[in-house]
Structures are given as C-alpha cells and as structure tokens.
Chains A and B, each alone.
Chain A
C-alpha cells in the first residue's frame, strides 16, 4: 500500500512523462470512466442505497446519468476544445500568430462530498482528465460504501499511474493537503474550505470551492399554486433535502403561504404517499450525527410544524416537514439546513423579499416563483447567487453548458462540461513572431524619439484597422 506521498510522486512523474497530454489518451480514459459507470451501475446504486437509502430513480438521474451526459459532451467536443484559440490583434502584431493554448496543470486533487458521492467526485474528474491532468480522488468517508466501491473500481478501469483514490477521514485529508498539487477542487462546508485554502496558499495552489449556503425560494405575486408546489416540493425533498442547491427556505406573503400549504401537502402525498417512511422514493439522513443535528433544530425552533415532523432514529428517517411562523433569528435560519425541513417566512412585498435575501450571504442558488416576469427579472438583477432559476428548482445545474459554482460565501470557480475543462487547464498566451520587420521593431528601441513614440501609439491601438487586413 503506497503512502500518500508515494501516490502523489508517482502521479507527478507520470504527468512529467507527458502520457496524459495526447488527445487519444484522454478520450480513452474518459471512455473507460463511462464504461466503469455503465457496467457497474447496479453496484453503485446498491452502495448509494446503503449510504443514503438513495432511491434508485434519484441515484440514476443525479449520480450516474449526469456524469455520463457530461462524458458524452466532453468526448464529443474535446478535439475542438483542445485546439489553439486564435485571437484578434493590433496593427503592430497583425502578422503574428497569436493564440491561447490550453495546457494541463499537473496533478489535481478532487475532494468529494457525501450527499452526491459519485457526482461530486466524477463530474470534476471528467473536466480534469479532459484537460490532460493526473487526478487524485478523495471520496467522502461519510458515504462509506460508495467510498469503498470507488477505491475498488477506479484502479480497475483507469490508468493506475495517472489516477488514484485516497481514502480516509479528516486526519488523512489534512496529511494529503501537505503535498503540493496543481489544483484542488473541494465540495463541502465553509469551515473545511478555509483550512483547505490555507494549505493551498503554502504551495500557491489554485483552488475551486463548491460550498453551500441557504438557498432562498421567493414566491411572489400571482403563481400557479399547484405547479409551483410540485416543483418546490420535488426540489426540496430530493435526496431528503441533502442537496447544496436545495431550496433551503421559502419567502412569500401570508396569503400565498396559506394557499400553497394545502398544495404542498397534496404534492407530498402524491409523491411519497401517506407514509413517506414506507415509500422507496424517499431518502434517509446520511448519519446518526446529522439526524441528531436536524432533530435538534426541529426541537429548538420557535416556528410551528404544520406538515410532517415524524421521525425514526434507528432508520435515520425524518418525514418531509414544513414549519411556519419562523422568525428571522430562529435557529432554523442560522445555518444551512441540509435536510427535509422547510421553513416558510413571510414577507409582504417584493422589496422586503429582496432586502431579506440581500441581508444574508450570497447563496449557491436562488429560486423565484412568479407569473410576473418583470418581478422575476427584478429579483435576479438586484440579488446575487451562484446560479438562478425561476419557476423551478435544481434543474439549472443539469445543463453541461452552464457553469456550476458559487460566489461569495458559496464558493468560487466553476465546472460542468467545458467549464470543467477550462478550470483544470492553464490558458497559455502564445505569440509566434517572424524575423522580418525588424525596422518596425526598431521604433521601440532606444535612443527614444517623439516620432517613434507617435508611430507606436498608432500601431498598438486596438481601434486601428487596416482595410487590407
């Protein structure tokens, strides 16, 4: 069993050998990754069920398919992404070959999370491999069954010299971070992110942070209550609320709240039946510790539970729960909930809703439900968030063409599709000049003259066009 240092060194010397650079190698590895997911889908689904009681449907969509989709897009487009990008030039550089060439960075570390153990590990990995890097995966130890399966399967399918899985807890991760990497992508909490950034600073390693926050869901004005309730409930209780982009809390007027509650009850019954605990389509809380944290919140809230509230400690089950009359300083509003508890807070105007949202940290996602498209536009323009989706939840991050990432306290950097390729590449500016026109060059040499300066100003201007060129 190699030590962490040996693993990093091995990958680094593989990278230095240049083996990951050719397009064929990258495509071959990406294809093998796809095979790994397709051929072992049942085993992955089983592991995910063991870890999170993840319903088959959710696991297939949000863990397997989303990665395979991204793989398709990446494999199909990799050739063109790898091409030099030729850029516009000034008159002085018109005859030069100016391009941006994407180059791999080296050895990339991807630290996954337990809520979507496959997606949050392999989606970044797709971008990292596509960009020509070697990759170390550090799955979350909390989703233990998936961790073990990933550690078993990755070496069987991907090149062992270039890709490795390192398992372990907080101590092992801390030790791993002592090594030097060329990029680190971390998905998780703000506290851990701070220590990762500090470790990265020692080596001047660039970092991508995918964090969380409280994603607001603002329902304003006229709204098709039934449809809004369905989409909101689906997005909130998917994975039992354990999604970084789940709507964390709802903001709406008193009247809307009274109208939407019955619709939500109906939607919940439609989705999970009268007893969600018996429904195979409803997930569980990942660990007893997280279950206790959530139950503690429910216990301490000064709001009123109007839907759900049932729980079962042994089963790590908490029913889909809605809490109303929640004050702004309530315990449910102190931190990201990350569970199947939905507080509803009331605001009586668009203005108050926007002010409320802006009084908090920038979230990873922001949702607005309204038939009034100008209200939607206003919310979007006057707030900031990682991503924005109106009249639905979560789906904005399923598109590989959109960057997925946070801003402010919800993180920085992004990935998915081409964005992953760009994140894990170095954009190298390349200028190839000729030997001729040395006389033109002489304008810049000393001894300096006013005339020469005048010529240079003109030729270097971006607005100078020449009809011949």
Chain B
C-alpha cells in the first residue's frame, strides 16, 4: 500500500505539474486555508493527544506554520529564480547562474510533540521547492495523525501530497522505498535507523534530533527575569520540546534564588495546583510517563514532584544539586523535570558543556555581552539564544537545525526551500568566439598554456546587476567629471588664448 502511494506521488511529480510557480502558490494558499478554517479541530485533536491548551496550540504551532506559508507565498518567485554568480575571464560572455530545482519525492516523518509544526513546516518548503511529499505523522499523536490524513487530501493535491499513517512497521515499509530526500524529526536513535535506510538508496537526509540543551544562568544577571523565561520554556508542552532548556547550570551561591524564582513563577503561571490549570499539559503516553518518573528515582525534588498516573500528570518539578553522573543527566529528559547542576564559574560551565554531545540548543543568561560572546565562541550547538529560551526558533531567517548528535541539515523559511532543492550549476555558452577556446586544446605549448591559465584565473568578475549598475554609474560620473574638467580647462585656456589672440591681433594691427 505504501509502495503504491509513493509510486503515485512519483508519477504525479514526473508529470511536471509542480514545476510552475503558480501551482506551488495555489497549493500553499490551500494549505493556509486549511490551517485557518480547521484551527478548532486541530486544537481539539491536540487536546486529546497531549492535553495542549487552546492557546498553546496557535502559539506554539499554528502561528509558526502560518508565518512560514505567508513568507513562502511572498518570496517564492524570488527563491525559485536563477541566482547569478561571479565569472572568470573565460566565461565573461556566458550566462552563469545557479538554478534551484525540485528533488522529486520527499518523505517527511513527523514527531508527536508538535505534530503539526514538524510535519507542515517542512511540507511548506517541500511544496515551495516544487517537490511531491509523502507525509508520515507520528502514530503517538493519534488524533492529530488521523485528522491530518482526513484534512490534507481535501485541500491539497491528493496524489502529490499523500498522508501515510501507521506505526513502526508502516514506517519501516516506507523506509525500504526510494525517496529523493528524507526529512526526519525525532530521537537520535531512530535518526540513525533512518540514515542507514537512506544509505541503501543514497538518499540525502535532514535529521532534526534532540539532546540535552544546557541553560547557563550567570550569578550576576537578573535572576528573576531569567527564571521567568526559563520556566516558560521548560514547562510549555509539559517539557516535551526538543529545544526546551533540559537542565540549568549555575553557581552554588545563586542556586537557592533560582529555585525560589522558579517556584514563584510557577505559581504565577499555573496557580497553586498546576493539575487544575487549563494551561498545563500532560505526558504523551504511559511509557514516557514511566520513563520520566524513573529518572527522578532516588532524588527529592525541591519544587513539585507530584504525579497522577491515571492522567499522565507530572507536576512542574525542580531538583537541585544534581550530580552529573545521575540518570537525569544521561539522557534527554523530555518532560517537566528541571535539574540544576552547580558549576564553579563560566569556564567550568563551558567545559561541562563541551564534554558532552553537541546539543540542539544552548541558552545563556548573562548581562556581560563580552562573556556571552565568549561562551558562544567556545562552545557549539544547533542554535543559541542569549537571555531567553527557544526564541531563535521563531525567526524564519535563522536556520534551524542540529549539529553532531543533535542532527544534520537545517530548515525554516528560505532554508527549507534550499534544503529541499537541488542547486544546479548552469553555464550557458554559445558556439562562437572559438578563437578564445583554441588555447586550451592540444597540441600544447607554453604560450597556449599561459593564455588558458590567465583566462581561468581569479579574481572572479562579479556580473550581478547591482555591481554592473554601480560600475556603469561610477564610469559615467567619472567620465562626466573628466569632461567637465576638460571643458573648464579649454574655456580657461580658450579665454586666455582668445585674449592673447586678440591682443596679438590688435598689436599686429
């Protein structure tokens, strides 16, 4: 069944109908309509999947998708146009450019924590780039998955953008087939499986994985504001966010303050009993609930710690003085537990971070700009937000992606378009000017060789419109000034000459 779906998508792609920009725009507009018209249904599905509040859904997923669609619609003509490049002397008279082209059929495998964002944002880029796309939402967010399967064919081309639902075996079946690109969001473990499957067909992949995103709070910063921002980022979606601050690093002297500020903020956000707050989520399923509860074993939290298995509820929880070798610090928490690990200073924090795998995000709270920049330079991560959390995700002109174990490739905005396109180098020559070419043919001698070496050399010549206009303008102005100078000199000389001439004339006469 999966085979037929993919085959149909491939045939649809080969028909060429995704090539015209108008078609792609039409599909994007339709997707936009789907999000707007079905917002209520989407929110309901998410409430059933993960107890997401009706405000969190637009805030965390739908606004982002809508913005991506708006941007793509606005910029598509520009993104899809040929991009001119610099040429050498040899290619001065040729057309030299890069033409972005669709890859073919893209497989998008979504995740359950933001089921709409992580499937539809890549889909926007896939459509914009002129591809067909097979969408495989996560079976763990069951209601969203079924809703997507029902909705997408009603708005988009059925053959080009099919939705395939199912569990592990359906995904494995899909991965046996050949795609032109696979876009996967999920865990590093499954990421390896996806990449290995892709290897069989030499398929390029984009892997948006996870990791433990550290959050460093400097002792001299405004701890209260820092904690408000961290608390928001950590407990939104019940901690089930790939870029959530996973753990805090701070000096022992402020640990107490940090705990207190988080406690205060939690009270403000979710009230005395978060279980009753409509704005606080739940854990996706029993398996993850048990996993997260297991991480806490043996530690006494200083905030929260309560749970209710029947609702898969875990209270916003903070643990302090957590040892680096504890279970809490071995795997990505992906839940509402916030460990605090103490470090002696910023350098200690930098070493701590660098000893571990490269995370998807790094957060630094520090008032000293220089120190923040140093921390950025001496560490690495997918992305970085200083003095806040997660916000780098919201700017579509910033590439979103991991590095090392946190992933490969990037997307958002134009980056998705570029990621799911082939940048084809194009040189369009004519069959004239053959005399220039003669130098490169055998039989070879020193003189010919020298001529060719010259023609292929750098520096490159930038023939982009802007440079050309500047060059022409500068030449015209320069020439104009020169002519003006000449005229002035001639007039002056002429006047002089004339004076002398008439004087002479008069003298003569």
Interface residues of A (CB under 8 A from B): 16, 18, 21, 55-57, 60-61, 65-66, 69, 72-73, 76, 87-90, 92-93, 96, 98, 100-101, 103, 105-106, 182, 190, 193-194, 197-198, 200-202, 204, 206, 209, 211, 223-224, 227-228, 230-231, 234, 270-273, 279, 281-282, 358, 369, 371, 373, 376, 380-382, 384-392, 395-405, 407-409, 411-414, 426-435, 438, 441, 444-450, 452-453, 456-457, 460-463
Residues of B within 8 A of A430 (CB): 376, 383-386, 392, 398
Contact A386 B425 (CB under 8 A): yes
Q: Which residue of A lies closest to B14 (CB)?
A: A358
Which residue on B lies nearest to A438, using beta carbons?
A: B225
Q: Is the CB–CB distance between B426 and A387 below 8 Å?
A: yes
Question: Does B486 have its Cβ within 8 Å of any Cβ on chain A?
Answer: no
Complex Cα distance, B422 from A433, in Å, reads 35
The answer to whether B440 touches A234, judged by C-beta atoms less than 8 angstroms apart, is yes
Chain B window 85-99, contacts with chain A (Cβ cutoff 8 Å), 1 for yes, 0 for no: 111101100001011
Number of A-B contacts (CB under 8 A): 308
A228-B431, A428-B383, A433-B391 are known; give 7 further A-B pairs, CB within 8 A. Answer: A57-B444, A90-B67, A202-B196, A376-B428, A384-B422, A430-B376, A457-B58
Shortest Cβ distance from residue B47 to the other chain A in the assembled complex, whole angstroms: 13
Contact present for A72 and B387 (CB under 8 Å): no
Q: Which residues of B contact A224 (CB under 8 A)?
A: 431-432
Q: Cβ of A61 and Cβ of B384 under 8 Å apart?
A: no
- Note all chain A residues with C-beta closer than 8 A to B103: 407-408
Whole-angstrom CA separation of A466 from B304 in the bound complex: 43
Partner of A447, one of B90, B277, B459: B277
- Measured CB to CB, the closest approach of chain A to B474, in angstroms, equals 21
Chain A residues with CB below 8 A from B427, complex form: 387-390, 392, 395-396, 399, 402
In angstroms, Cα B86 to Cα A73, docked, is 11
B6 to chain A, nearest CB (A): 16
Contacting residue for A445 out of B209, B228, B382, CB 8 A: B228
Q: How large is the interface on B (under 10, 10 to 19, 20 to 34, 35 or more residues)?
A: 35 or more
Within B181-235, the residues touching A (CB, 8 Å) are 188, 191-192, 195-196, 198-200, 202, 204, 207, 209, 221-222, 225, 228-229, 232
Residue in A closest to B274 when the chains form the complex, CB atoms:
A446
Residue of B nearest to A199 (CB): B199
Among B74, B430, B434, contact of A463 (Cβ-Cβ < 8 Å): B74
- In the complex, the answer to whether B198 meets A197 with C-beta atoms within 8 Å is yes
Instruction: Please indicate the chain A residues that have their CB under 8 angstroms from the CB of B460 in the complex.
Output: 73, 399-401
Q: B428 near A390 (CB under 8 angstroms)?
A: yes
| B56 contacts A by Cβ under 8 Å | yes
Give Cα A448 to B384, complex, Å: 26
A380 (CB) vs chain B CBs: closest residue: B426
Known: A197-B198, A428-B380. A76 touches B400 (CB 8 A): no
Chain A hits for B385, CB < 8 A:
430-431, 433
Binds A, one of B117-125, B252-260, B291-299, B403-411: B403-411
Closest to A381 in B: B19
* Interchain CA distance A433-B229 in the complex, whole Å: 12
Residue of B16, B277, B431 with highest tally of chain A CB at under 10 A: B431
Would you call B270 an interface residue if the criterion is a C-beta within 8 Å of the partner chain's C-beta atoms?
A: yes
CB B18 to nearest CB in A, in angstroms, measures 13
Q: Is the CB of B228 within 8 A of A438?
A: yes
A462 to B196, CA, bound (A): 37
Q: Which of A69, A89, A389 contacts B458 (CB 8 A)?
A: A69
Q: Most A CB atoms within 10 A — which of B53, B232, B369, B442?
A: B442
Residue in A closest to B193 when the chains form the complex, CB atoms: A201
Is the beta-carbon distance between A401 and B442 smaller than 8 angstroms?
no
Closest to B430 in A: A391
CB atoms of B399 and A429 under 8 A apart: yes
Answer whether residue B79 sits at the interface, using C-beta atoms and an 8 A cutoff. Answer: no
Interchain CB contact (< 8 A) of A90 among B14, B277, B395: B395
Q: Is B425 in contact with A404, judged by CB distance below 8 angstroms?
A: yes
Q: How far is A105 from B22 in the complex, measured between Cα atoms in Å?
A: 39
Min CB–CB distance A95 → chain B (angstroms): 12
**With an 8 A cutoff between CB atoms, is B508 at the interface?**
no
The closest CB in chain A to the CB of B270 belongs to: A446
Assuming A398-B88, A399-B85, A407-B103, is B397 touching A201 (CB within 8 A)? no
Inter-chain CA distance A293–B268, complex, in Å, is: 76
Question: Which residues of B lie under 8 Å from residue A90 when comparing CB positions?
Answer: 67, 394-395
Please tell me if the beta carbons of B59 and A444 are within 8 angstroms of each other in the complex.
yes
With a cutoff of 8 Å between Cβ atoms, the chain A residues found around residue B391 in the complex are 93, 96, 431, 433
For the complex of A and B, 5 pairs with smallest distance between CB atoms: A448-B55, A197-B199, A281-B442, A396-B427, A87-B397
Residue contact B442 to A386, C-beta cutoff 8 Å = no
